[in-house]
Amino acid sequence: MTLRPKTMVVMIFDTDTDHIDILKRNIKKLEKCPAVSEIVTIPQVPNLEQELIRSCNIKTAAELLGSRSKKDFKRDLIRVTNLADRLRLRQFDIRLLWSETPLAPYQDIENQAWKVKLPN
């Protein structure tokens, strides 16, 4: 991929695996790239579904879209065209999204979500 000069790269990653070697290699590659001005790291603790549960008034991620199962939720999320409306309907709070500090082995990768969140 060709990046424009002064590109900010935002890396959002799940923390529900113990294998961080690929993530660390990718960060090192990006640090060497002259077009990259900044790398922002954002851990999803432990994954996107849990982030949505924490950030919305829902008990399961499937509730957000009315999905029948976890598998259906992933398919529905890819296809949804009115996600902002669905989030608002479930009292989404951006301050709660990407707000957790990850556990080992991710504890050394800073949560920099504040760099990409707009104030309310």
Read off the pLDDT of residues 58-102 as tens digits, 9 standing for 90 and up: 999 999 999 999 899 999 999 999 999 999 999 999 999 999 999
pLDDT of residue 21: 95
Read off the pLDDT of residues 36-52 as tens digits, 9 standing for 90 and up: 999 999 999 999 999 99
pLDDT of residue 101: 92
Say if residue 120's pLDDT is above 80: no
Are the beta carbons of 56 and 77 closer than 8 angstroms?
A: no
pLDDT of residue 50: 96
In order of 41, 43, 68, 91, the CA distances from 27 in angstroms are 9, 13, 36, 34
pLDDT of residue 70: 87
Are the beta carbons of 98 and 64 closer than 8 angstroms?
A: no
pLDDT of residue 86: 97
Amino acid 79 reads R
d(CA 10, CA 87): 22
